[in-house]
Structure formats: structure tokens, C-alpha cells
Structure 1
Amino acid sequence: MKTLPSCILYSRDDELTGRLIRISTSVVALQLIEEPVDLEQWIAQFGDTVLLADLRATNCLDMLASIRKEKPATIIIPIGADRSDPMLAVEWLEPFATLSLEPDRREFQTLLKQAVECLALRQKNKVLEEELATLNARKVEQRPQPRTLFSAPLQNFSKAQRNFDNIDMLFDSVVEGLVATARVSRAGIFIKPDSGDAYLYKAGTRCLATTEKLRVRPDSPFVRWLEMNTHLVSRKTLENVADPQERAMLKQMLDSLGAEIIIPLYATGCIKGWIFVGQRSTGIPFDIADLEDMTGLADHISTTLEKALKYEETALQKALAETVLHTIPFGIIACDEHAILRWFNTTAREILKPQSEVVIGQRAEVLGSRIADMLRSAVGGQHMPCTKEWTDNRTKLTLAAETHCLTDGGSCVGAMVMLRDVTGVKLLKEKEEQVERATFWNELASSMSHEIRNPLVAIKTFSQLLPQRYEDPDFRAEFSKQVTTEVDQLNQIIDKINEFANPPKPIFQPLDIRKPIEHAVTRIQSELNHDNLKIHLSADETALQINGDTTSMEECIYHLLKNAAENLANKPGSRINVTVKGRSPEKGSGNIYIMVTDNGSGIDPSLRDKIFSPFITIKALGFGLGLPIAKRAVIDHNGQMDIESSSGGTTVSITLPASEEQE
């Protein structure tokens, strides 16, 4: 972004100043000054400029006469009514131009451009005149001045190093040490914050008010000059600057700071700021040897500043880390390689409630034998994370702890325990398990009462009629047959419950998955004998080997087919498709896929969320154990079962890992 030249507007007319500032923004940076004192100080500090003066302002004519005398290179443009007495009176000052109270935009912008160009020419002429005067002065032999030394050694800066924890106090200490060492009347420091876009005044002694408000952008000519030349700026050595424009710019910077010397400060490989000092309190000027001492002093300040900035960054990171560690919802306990506690956050204190207020620096046993044993075991070489859970006898809390060994370069430097209070979680889990158990037994009791009641009713009915019809041989034969049938039904119910509660342990061996599927299809067709039901089995040509149990997989497919067939209820057009596919590892995964699809009415919406729970069924007969038994078989084979159901039918998808030989 291009920096616009600065101009001064001296006026107290809000309407006029607002209009002039608006129409000049594209040409110059117009700075408003309303008080005579501020105008005098600004001219004295920053030198020649373009001055637009409202003749109606306080003491305007007197101020212009003083400025013309002291700063003849200043461009003066009076503003007033044409042919008014103040406008006629100001003509003897030979202003650059005059301006009406309602100037035309284009004419005003053109006038400003011409004034800025004229000021630049006058400043160049002034530089050339000073250069000529300097050349003439060199011809005059001067007597050497006596060597003057700093009145205090560099050790005055040692106290600044004690303020690393407060960067603002460090700046104040630097300025105090500078004043004490160089015995100067004025000193200050400018620093660019890491997140800032300009160099700002940070501390100083007897500095001008305008200096404290000064902002210097990193792309300013002064900063660029420091980056290129990397040495101090002194009025005594300005004559050594070859470029007259650079020399004028440096002199203007010295004037704006009221300084005799400006010394750059370096930190982290770049210009972090600068310090400046005014004249000595004794009035004795600085000589070349003093400038060399000042350079050494600046190097010492730069080193101190760089250390302080690194310390501040480290302290900030440490504070953030400690804040995070103290606010995380689980306790952290850390010890060194000798099991001496080095970290103990707030959450750990709330959980353990140690009897000793001081924990850091104590042996691990201060937190109890269990925590101490875990830490010592980790320090002793058990690098694998270890998780334990127990109930603390003193606090009655259920705690879970995970231990880690801390290593550096392969060697153990300590251990850490992450501690959690799982009392509430455990109680909630126990309540959930109680609810699940209660639900299980309620459903079991309801289902068993439904299944057992029918045989018992039949047995009771025949038993009640037996005394009356005992002599009837046909009745006795029917009684014997019916009771035997109902008792067998009761035994079958008990066998199903026992089978579900105590399934046989599967025997895994290489198995072609098509064989148990074919057996299940044959079995279901022989049992149901539905005339309208068609079961279609298809399998691709890839190897379909798994490591599985034949009986378990046959029961799985059998129950899926039985559920589908019972749902279809032998309706016309009933159809069940059983599809088996294999996929080789080269095509993505070594899995086998089984899909059982029917064209029934789908699963009842009220049962979709709990179809895998035992004893959940809407059928008049049965315990609802088919799908739970099927899913358990799939899980035993490290597989996965998914069900998709709609009003057009249901699809059960089974994914099984292929055997290692196949892969």
C-alpha cells in the first residue's frame, strides 16, 4: 500500500475541515490541528511541511509569520474569503497559493500535488545547501575533543534481566538503565508487537507527547534503511550517509523523536525496534568513541530483549499447557524415574482428596499404595499401558486408572497415571443391566406362561373328566395320547430354553458355506411343506470356504428361512431367494456374503428396534429365539448381520470372513 505524503490543516471549522479532508484523501494524508500550541510543537518536531491555514483560526497571521521566519521551506496555503482583510494582510508572507472557503475539488487536488512537489524540491535544495556547508566545514581544521566515557558501566542493565516475567517492566528497566549509563536528558524505546502492524512507543523518559503517539509502519523508508544498513543513526555521523535524500529522511526522524542517536534492536533475526537518546545532561556532545560504546550497549539490550521475548513465549505456552491440564475432566499424575511426584492436576486432587496438602516433590506413596505401585511398575520397565479399576476404601469412589511409561530417546524418564472417577458411570451401567435383566425375565415369564398354559389347560381338562369317564376305553386312550403330547410339548419348550441358554461350543474347521445352506433349505422344505412357497438358492463360482461350524451355520440359515416362511404364510407367489457371493482380496476384501430375501409384508414397525432380543415375537406359537440364535452364530464366526425391511419384503445380509487358505 502506497504511503501518502502528509499535510497539516490548521482550522477549527468542522464543516470546512470535513470537506477538505474528504476531497484530499486520494492525494495527501491531511492531519488536523486545532490549537496554536500543538501547531508550534508539530512544526518544531517534524520540520518543513505543507500547511493549509484557516485565517479565521486563533492567532493565525502571527503563527504564519513565525513559521515563515523559522521554517522558510514550509509551503503555506492560506484559506479565507477573497479580498478580505486577513487575505490581503497575508500577501506580504508570499504564500505558495491562496484558497477560498469553498474550493473546487479538481483545483484543490491539483494545488495539493503542486505543493507537495514544491516541498520536495525545497527539501532537496536544503539538503544540497547543508551538504555544501559540511564540505566547507571540513576544510577548517578543528582541535580534537577530549575522550568522554559513559559515566556508568554496562552492569546497570543487569537489573533489567530480572524482569523477564513482565515485558513492560523490562522496557522501563531498559530505559532507566540507558539514562543511568549514558547520562542523557531523554531516552525511549520503540517495539513492534508480534501481532501488530506498526512500531509503537513502549517506554521513555521526558519524551515529547507527539513521540508517544507516533506509529511507524514496517514499510516506511526509515525501517527499510535500518534493515539495509543495520547500524545506528547519529547526528554526528549523518554526513557519512551518501544519499542526500536518505540523509534528510534520517534527520527528520531524529527531529521527530527529539533524539541525538537512534540504535536498532535485533531479536529473532529481524529488527524488533529501536532505542533513541537525546543530548547529554551535561551538554557535552557524543564523540566517535561514545558511539562505539553505545553500539555495544545496544547489542546488550538486543540480547536481553531477545531472551525476554523467548521467555515470554515459553511462559505463555507453559501457562496455556498448565491451564489445559488443570481443566481436563480426568486426573493426571506424573512422576520422575525415581517415583517422585512432579505433576498433580486439580482434577486428580478432587478425585483422590490426598491427606497431605503438599504433593509435588513427595514420594508416590503419599497418594496411596495402589497409585504408587502403578507408577513404580511403569517406571520399572512395564512400557505397555496398564488399565485398572477399583473402589477406594477411603473415598468410596470407583476409580479407573491407565498407566503409561514416559520415555525420552528410548530410556524411561518417568511415568504418568490418567485417573477417572467412574462411580456414576458404573452405577448407571448397573441400573441399565438391572433394567435389561428385569425386561428379560418379564419377557421370558410372559412367553413361557403363554407357551405352557395351552398344554396345562389340555391336561387339566382331561384330568377333570377322567373320574367320570374312566370306564370309557376310548376316552382313556385319548387321555393317554393327549397328555403324552402336551408333556412332550412342555419338554420341547424347556429344551429350547436350555439350547438358547447353553449353546454347544462351535467346532471350527474348513467349511464350504453352501453345504449348511443346502441342508437348511432341505430341512425347512420338509418341515413346512408349503405348496405355494418357492425357495431359490444361487451361488457364484468363486471359492466359498470359511473357517466355521457346520451345525451352527445350518441352524443360523434354518432360523432365517423359518422366520421368512412363517411370515409368508404359504400365500400364493411366496418366494425366498438365498444368494451366496464371494469376493477375492484383489477386489477389495476376503469376505463371503449371504443374503436371504423374501417378498412378504416386512417386519412389524413395533419390533424393528428389538428384533434381535430374545422372546420378542408376534406369532401365536414360538419363543422369538430364531433371530437371536442366528445372530449369535454369525458373531461366533466373526461376522456381521444386517436387516433391511419394508412393506415389499425383508432382506437379511450376512458377511463372513473367508478362510485364510482361501485368502
Structure 2
Amino acid sequence: MDPKPISILVTALFIFILGTYVFAKNSKKIINISFLGLAYSCGLWALALFTISIETRYEVLKFAGHMAFATGALLTCNFLLFAYVFPDKRDEFPPLRTLLIICAPGALMALLSFTPFIMKDIAYEGEKVRPVYGAGIYILMLYHVACAFIGFFLLARKFLKTKVRFERVQLKYTFWGTLLSAIGIVTFALLLPIAGVSQYSGPLSAVFIVIASASLSYAIVRHRLMDLGVVFRNVLIYIGTVAALGAVMGLVTLFTPVLRLQLEAVAFLSVLAASLLVYPVRNGIETLVDRFFFHGRYNYQAALTEFSHSMTKILDLEDLQNRIVHEVASILQVKSATILLHETGEKKYTVRAAIPIELADAHHEIGADSLIIRQMMQDHTLLVKEEMKRSLPVSRFQPIESEFDQIHAEVIIPLFYREDLLGLLTLGEKISSDIYSVEDINLLVTLGNQAAVALENALLHHTVIMLKNHNDNILKYMSSGVVAIDKNRMINTCNDKAREILRLPQDGVIHGKIDLLPSPLREMLSDTLAGKNRYSNQEVQILSPKGSICYLSASTSLIKEEKGVVTGALLVVNDLTEIRILEGEMWRADKLASLGTLAAGMAHEIKNPLVSIKTFAQLLPTRFEDTEFREKFSSITVDEVERINSLVEKLLEFARPTAPLFETADIIDLIEEVLLLLSNETSKVGVTVVRNFDVDSAPIVCDKSQFKQALLNLCLNALQAIEASRNNSHKELRVSVSLRKSRYSGGTSRDQVSEMFYGLDIPATIDDAQTVVIKVRDSGQGISRKNLGRIFDPFFTTKEKGLGLGLAVVHGIIKEHSGSITVDSKENVGTEFTISLPVTQIFAKERA
């Protein structure tokens, strides 16, 4: 079957589909409506040519000839109407008078085409058919030329007058597409047939029809157009590639007789050569075309490669911002470019770099809730001002346009990293005043993605540097010493305070071994790194270079990465030496104050019996002969002297307590012994004793005798308070024992205690990190708030016959055992004493 009719039919169908598609895109626009008329008249003309190419019947051929001339007249008429309304008259229809001026001559020419005035008949010349023209053929040709001239004149004038860059590109496509097609159609459909050459008129006319229709529809429908220079460049590349490959295949065919190859072998070699050479040849042709015809136009791949290569080298945020702006402005040849980044902690994007520099100095910014930002967050794509102007209603576009103008932008490229909008890259007008073509947009999308990745890396680097400086400043000026080691027991962090506290050298500590640290701290860090123990406020002692003792508080912890893998250990130390010195001074001052209180108490207590003795001594000379008086005097004197002696003994017991003899004991057993001693007293008073022991046994290291004395004093005080209370219905003495983990460890461990006290056997059940808590609670009358702070002072008592030394002795014994005692009391409710005793932690201070 002859391929010529098929090509014409395919062309007709293509044009019908294209016209319908453009009309369906926006059926209300006059441009789309006029293109529909242009496309349908062109399609009908192609169908007439198709009928002529396949028919042999006289009547059908004659009608098809008339139809070809009529649709040709309508085609020219519709082109003139299209040129009149394109591209600025989008919504309004032309006035009726204008429509009549444009359409009436076309309709008249179409009607005349069905009369002998245009075509008289058809004539057969062998197998070919040609029209027999009438007298009006020249008028029809003049009409075609006039309409074409007026149409192209209108398009050219609009191109020169319009200020809208996108419309200029649309007019370029329309002008050159229709001009080349019109020349081709007139040549092959009119001039050559008149000259008697008509064998190629149908297929070649169809090709030019396709070119015209495609260029017009592309200019109407596409919201983003390619640069015509890019189109021409691509056409040259494809033509050159096809020509070069054709030459290669021709060479293979040329040498066929010499090589004596079969037809199948020739075909195989030709296809093989073409497939192997297509990419090298295309790249070579592209290089030649760019060198000789498009010198100065950027190479897409080269621009991407160079930009990506330059971005990977920069980690400094400020340098990167300036490089991005300069590189993009240089590649796209724009008048202005800015980069805006999100301000941390603020809802806005501010200019960080700009070309020209005045844009950066103007402090332009855009809010995070602006219309542009919301549009970008929704679509995740760049915004082109010209495109939004055409696609959005005026009421919606005006506020967006003001935001574009605020930052002097024509195109805004979002810099997304994952889902975060890091910033914006804005570009102004091109130096050439051209629009941003499809090639430009594609390039900008890729450049924006690469710039976003580079910015994220630079921002992360900037954040790391800021955090490092922040941490360095904290470490430098903090009052605690900080030392960190890695998994290899090498020091990787040591601040100035740690060097000062631990007397470390200024150089050689970082990357030095853990052996540089004093022994106790070295062992603590090693234990923590090994996972054995973590210390909290552990009090240790080290020797200074001068031989004096330094008291330190040390805490350790593990350093872990994000997934929980241990990477090292951390030591935080505080110098307690000055605190201990101050505590010693306060202790001495307290002792002096206690001494004054003690002296006053002694004077008061001794003075009372001395008064009695003095009185009897003064009366003795006058009443010596009185036997009864002498006996009474002797009895009273002995009692008062005994009273003074008892007072002195208790005073000595308080002032010079016996050194404790430490041994292992079960605190519960000691409590039971004390309660057994007091069983008669509790029965006499009618007190119920409640035992609340959380554990079956609580072994500790203590002086049994002294600790029993302390417990006995507390329980006796409780019984006396219950007896003096008015609450006779509820008499209860509650003693409780519990164990808890130590929050503060200030002394020595079980093994160290064993060594200190001549190999004392410490049971394995004793836990270094545990504290025994003993509570003695009564339901007595309570202690008033004003007296609560004085109960441990010597000689302070509220009892008529009390000396005020019982609780003072208890306080001293607990302190000797490195424990603490607190009191909580409410009047008419009761009192609770709480003793906290570290199981093996004894004597934080050195013993004499």
C-alpha cells in the first residue's frame, strides 16, 4: 500500500485530536476556540488531500478538489483570526465588526471554491489527476498571501510591543512555526502543482501542517516553554547524529562488494556500527554544535558537575552561601540572586547572601507563614512568578506578587532537605530578558537539590562547631573538674579546672594515659568503664605535691553513643578541701560555744549543792553541840558531794567519750537487747512496742556498747515523753529498720574497713552501697518548734530532774559512726528520731 495517503490520514487525525485537546484545556478562552477552528479547517483540508490520493472516481475527486480549496480558504481565515487574538486577548471575543472583516472574505472564498470560478474541472494525465483552475485562482492566491502577510504582521507587531516575556516566547513559537509551515504548504500545495509537480505535495504538506499545529498548540497549552534556541540546538544535534550514522552505514554498504558480504551480514554490521557509535557520535555532534553555533550557552551536565564538585569542598556556611549565589547567577546569567535561610527560633527566612550586595544590606525577609512558603510546603516545587500570574486569578495572585517583589524575585527555588525547608534561593530577571525555559527550570531543580544537601552539611558542621565552642566555654568556666576517657583508657577531655584540682600539667594530658590521674580517681574511672560500679559524690583523698591532703568529691558515669554503645567514661570532681577546712573551723567554733554552754551548765549544777553545803558549814560552829544537826549536816553534805561527783562523771563521759571498738553486729539484735532491758518500764507505763523490720537481719560495723547506749537513751526519752503525755488512750513505741541505697558515700568500702581494723572479717552480706535506717517513734507530747533546734545541745532539757546530756551523747555516738540523726516532731502527736548509718562507711575524717 502507498505510504503517502497513510501519512496524510495520520496527519489529519493528529490535528483533529490536537485541536480537541487544546479546546478541552480551556473551552472559554477565545485563543483555544480560535485554535479549534484553525485545527479543524486544517484537518478537513488534510482529509480532502487524503481523498484525492486514494480515489479514482471522477465525482469524488472533483468534490474533494473543491473541498481542498474551500478548507484552504477557511484555514487562512482562521489563521488571521488566531493571529488577531493571540496571545493577549484571552477571555473577550473580538467585536462583531472585526469578526466580519476577518471571516466574511474567508467564507466568500470558501463558497467560491465550489464554483468553476476557482476550479473548473479535473484533468487526467496518465494515472495522475490535476485541477483545471478557473479565473479566480489568482484572487484566491492573493487572498492567501494577504491573510498570511496581515497575520504575520500582527504577530510581529505584538512581539515588538509586548513587555511580557512569556508572551514574547509564545509569539516566537507561533511566528516561526506558522511562517515555516506556510512557506512549505504554499510551495508544495499551490506553487508546485501549478508548475505541474504534484507527486510530493500531499506528504510534504502534511509534514508542514504537523509542524504548524504542534508549535501553536505548544505555545497555547504549555505553561512552561522551551527556549527556541534550545529547540534549534536539539534539532541540529539530531540531524547531525542521523547524518553521521547514515554516513557510517553508507561506508559499510560501499565496501560490501570489496568484502563480498551477504545482505544479511551487511545489515547486521550496519546495525552494530550504529548501536556502538550512537552515543559517541551524538556527544561529538553536541560538542561541535555548542562550539560553532551556541558558544556561551551553558552545558547542562557540565554545569551540574562543576556545581556539585564545588559544593562538596565547602563546609563553612558563609562561604557556601556566597558560592551558591555566585555560581547560580553565573550559570543562569541573571541580574540578581539571593539566598534566604530559616532563622533558628524565629518564624522567618532572612537574606544571607545576595547579588548585588545591596540586596543583602537591605535586610529583606519573608515570614514562615507567608503565601509563598505555604505554597512551597504544599507542592514541594519551585515557583515561577510568570507562570503563577497566568494560572491564578488576579485576586489570588496579587498578594503573592507583592511577596515576590518584596524579595526582588522572578523564580523561587525551595531548598528542601527531606521534609525541612532550609531556605530559599531566589533569582531575578535574566540579563537577556528571556523567560526561564524548561531547560532552565530542570537545571534549577537539580541545582536546588544539590544546594540543599550542601547547606544541610554546612549547617550541621556549623552546629557542631557552635556546640563544641559552647561546650568548651562551659568546660572552661565551670567550677567542677571534668575528665573523660575513651574505651582505650586514654584521656580525651580535661578542662582547666580539672588540671587545677588534680595538679595536672597543661600539656600532654589530652591523648595521655589514665595513669596521669591520682590512684583513687584512676580506679574509679576504670571500674565505671568496666561496668563494675558508678560513683556519686564519692569522697576521696589525694596527696598534693607538697604532701598535704586534698579532699575531693568525685562522680563517674558512662559515656554512650546514640545506640547505647559505651564509648568511654566521665569523671566530675569538686575540691572539698576549703569546705573541710571551714568545717573544721566551724567545728572548733562549735566546740568553743559548747564549752561555754558546758561551763555555764556546770556552774549552775554544781552551785546548787554547794549552797546547801555552805549553809550547813556556816551554821556548824554555832550548832556543833546539836547532835541531830550534825547528823543531818553529815547526811546532806555526803548526798550533795555524791551529786557533784555524779555530775562530773557524766560530764567526763560526754567530753571524753571512749574510743569505739568496731566489730560486726546485727542492728536488729542490738535493738531487741535494748527493748528487753526496757520491758519492765514499758509494762509499767503501759506502752505497746511495735517492731517494723523490713529485713530479717542488718549486719553493720559498729561499737556494740556505744550503739546500745545510743538506742537506750532514745527509747528511754520516748518512754518518758509517752508517760508525760496526756494521751492515755494510745501509748505506742514504734521501732523500724530498713535498708536503702546510699545517695552519698563519703568514707571507705568494706575491704578498706577490713584493712583499717586489723583484718576485721566483714560478712559478705554487707553491701558497701547500703545504708541502715533506724527510726524510733513515740506517741508522746512532742517537742515545741522553738526547742526543736536545741535538743542536741548539752545541758538543754525540759525535764525537772534531767541533766540535758542524753541526746547530746546520742548525737556524739552517731557522729563517731559516720552517721546522721534527724528529728521530726509535732506537739501532742509524737516524735520520730531517724538514724542513717552507712553499713561500712565510717569516719570520713582521719582518725588520730
Q: 2:410 touches 2:429 (CA, 8 Å); kept in 1?
A: yes
Task: Give the secondary-structure state (helix, strand or coil) at the position aligned to 2:792.
Answer: coil
Distance 1:194 1:169, change over 3 A: same
Aligned amino acid, residue 451 of structure 2:
I
* Mapping of residues 222-621 of structure 1, within 5 Å: 222-233=372-383, 238=387, 261-277=411-427, 288-368=438-518, 371-385=521-535, 387-394=538-545, 398-408=550-560, 412-452=566-606, 481-482=635-636, 484-494=638-648, 496-497=650-651, 501=657, 507-508=669-670, 516=678, 519=681, 522=684, 544-545=690-691, 556=714, 559=717, 577=728, 579-580=730-731, 594-597=778-781, 609-617=789-797
Task: Give the secondary-structure state (helix, strand or coil) at the position aligned to 1:264.
Answer: strand
Query: In the aligned structure 2, how far is the partner of 1:381 from the partner of 1:178?
Result: 55
Aligned amino acid, residue 168 of structure 1:
E
Q: 1:199 touches 1:217 (CA, 8 Å); kept in 2?
A: yes
Query: In the aligned structure 1, how far is the partner of 2:735 from the partner of 2:506?
Result: 64
Q: Is the radius of gyration larger for structure 1 or structure 2?
A: 2
Query: In the aligned structure 2, how far is the partner of 1:564 from the partner of 1:228?
Result: 78
Q: 2:341 touches 2:424 (CA, 8 Å); kept in 1?
A: yes
Query: In the aligned structure 2, how far is the partner of 1:425 from the partner of 1:382?
Result: 30
Task: Give the secondary-structure state (helix, strand or coil) at the position aligned to 2:233.
Answer: coil
For structure 2, the residue ranges without an aligned partner over 5 or more in a row are: 1-87, 89-163, 179-211, 216-227, 235-293, 698-706, 737-773, 836-848
Query: In the aligned structure 1, how far is the partner of 2:624 from the partner of 2:733?
Result: 65
Q: 1:578 touches 1:597 (CA, 8 Å); kept in 2?
A: no
Aligned amino acid, residue 439 of structure 1:
A
Q: 2:502 touches 2:518 (CA, 8 Å); kept in 1?
A: no
Distance 1:172 1:455, change over 3 A: same
CA drift of 1:418 comes to 1.1
Query: In the aligned structure 2, how far is the partner of 1:289 from the partner of 1:215?
Result: 29
Aligned amino acid, residue 383 of structure 1:
N
Distance 1:363 1:651, change over 3 A: same
Query: In the aligned structure 2, how far is the partner of 1:479 from the partner of 1:492?
Result: 20
CA drift of 1:651 comes to 6.4
Query: In the aligned structure 2, how far is the partner of 1:563 from the partner of 1:230?
Result: 80
Aligned amino acid, residue 444 of structure 1:
L
Task: Give the secondary-structure state (helix, strand or coil) at the position aligned to 1:339.
Answer: coil
Residue matched to 1:193: 343
Query: In the aligned structure 2, how far is the partner of 1:629 from the partner of 1:370?
Result: 35
Q: How many residues align?
A: 497
Task: Give the secondary-structure state (helix, strand or coil) at the position aligned to 2:556.
Answer: strand
Distance 1:326 1:558, change over 3 A: same
Q: 1:520 touches 1:557 (CA, 8 Å); kept in 2?
A: no
Q: Does 1:164 align with 2:315?
A: yes
Query: In the aligned structure 2, how far is the partner of 1:521 from the partner of 1:630?
Result: 25
Query: In the aligned structure 2, how far is the partner of 1:261 from the partner of 1:642?
Result: 75
Q: Does 1:625 align with 2:775?
A: no
CA drift of 1:429 comes to 0.6
CA drift of 1:426 comes to 0.7
For structure 1, the residue ranges without an aligned partner over 5 or more in a row are: 1-70, 72-125, 523-534, 569-573, 658-663
Residue matched to 2:153: none
Q: 1:392 touches 1:398 (CA, 8 Å); kept in 2?
A: yes
CA drift of 1:454 comes to 5.6
Query: In the aligned structure 2, how far is the partner of 1:445 from the partner of 1:651?
Result: 35
Distance 1:169 1:460, change over 3 A: same
Aligned amino acid, residue 567 of structure 2:
V
Q: 2:340 touches 2:349 (CA, 8 Å); kept in 1?
A: yes
Q: 2:484 touches 2:491 (CA, 8 Å); kept in 1?
A: yes
Aligned amino acid, residue 615 of structure 1:
F
Query: In the aligned structure 2, how far is the partner of 1:656 from the partner of 1:554?
Result: 14
User: What per-residue deviation string (whole Å, max 9, x for no partner) do you get for residues 106-150 of structure 1?
Assistant: xxxxxxxxxxxxxxxxxxxx9999999799669634774225652
Q: 2:713 touches 2:807 (CA, 8 Å); kept in 1?
A: no
Query: In the aligned structure 2, how far is the partner of 1:177 from the partner of 1:225?
Result: 26
Query: In the aligned structure 2, how far is the partner of 1:454 from the partner of 1:251?
Result: 103
Distance 1:145 1:263, change over 3 A: farther
User: What per-residue deviation string (whole Å, max 9, x for no partner) do you get for residues 340-391 of structure 1?
Assistant: 2111123223333433335322223445555445434443453331724225
Task: Please report the TM-score for the alignment, with normalisation by the length of structure 1.
Answer: 0.58
User: What per-residue deviation string (whole Å, max 9, x for no partner) do you get for residues 296-315 of structure 1?
Assistant: 22221121122223333344
CA drift of 1:172 comes to 1.0
CA drift of 1:336 comes to 0.9
Moved more, 407-416 or 135-144: 135-144
Aligned amino acid, residue 794 of structure 2:
P
Query: In the aligned structure 2, how far is the partner of 1:656 from the partner of 1:349?
Result: 41
Distance 1:352 1:303, change over 3 A: same
Query: In the aligned structure 2, how far is the partner of 1:465 from the partner of 1:194?
Result: 97
Between Structure 1 and Structure 2, the one with more helix by share is: 2
Q: 1:612 touches 1:631 (CA, 8 Å); kept in 2?
A: yes
User: What per-residue deviation string (whole Å, max 9, x for no partner) do you get for residues 10-38 of structure 1?
Assistant: xxxxxxxxxxxxxxxxxxxxxxxxxxxxx
Residue number among 831, 840, 848 corresponding to 1:653 in the alignment: 831
User: What per-residue deviation string (whole Å, max 9, x for no partner) do you get for residues 265-313 of structure 1?
Assistant: 2134144443244566678876544543333222211211222233333
Task: Give the secondary-structure state (helix, strand or coil) at the position aligned to 1:320.
Answer: helix
Q: Does 1:145 align with 2:232?
A: yes
Query: In the aligned structure 1, how far is the partner of 2:551 from the partner of 2:232?
Result: 82
Distance 1:220 1:133, change over 3 A: farther
Distance 1:415 1:129, change over 3 A: closer
Distance 1:580 1:350, change over 3 A: same
Aligned amino acid, residue 519 of structure 1:
E
Q: 1:452 touches 1:490 (CA, 8 Å); kept in 2?
A: yes
User: What per-residue deviation string (whole Å, max 9, x for no partner) do you get for residues 178-219 of structure 1?
Assistant: 234444444332334344444443322238869956544445
Distance 1:628 1:595, change over 3 A: farther
Distance 1:383 1:210, change over 3 A: closer
Q: 1:335 touches 1:414 (CA, 8 Å); kept in 2?
A: yes
Q: 2:524 touches 2:535 (CA, 8 Å); kept in 1?
A: no
Query: In the aligned structure 1, how far is the partner of 2:781 from the partner of 2:388?
Result: 98
Aligned amino acid, residue 171 of structure 1:
Q
Aligned amino acid, residue 298 of structure 2:
F
Task: Please report the TM-score for the alignment, with normalisation by the length of structure 2.
Answer: 0.47
Between Structure 1 and Structure 2, the one with more strand by share is: 1
Moved more, 175-184 or 372-381: 372-381
Query: In the aligned structure 2, how far is the partner of 1:255 from the partner of 1:564?
Result: 88
- Aligned-pair identity (%): 21
Aligned amino acid, residue 145 of structure 1:
F
Query: In the aligned structure 2, how far is the partner of 1:640 from the partner of 1:180?
Result: 79
CA drift of 1:613 comes to 1.6
Q: 1:184 touches 1:280 (CA, 8 Å); kept in 2?
A: yes
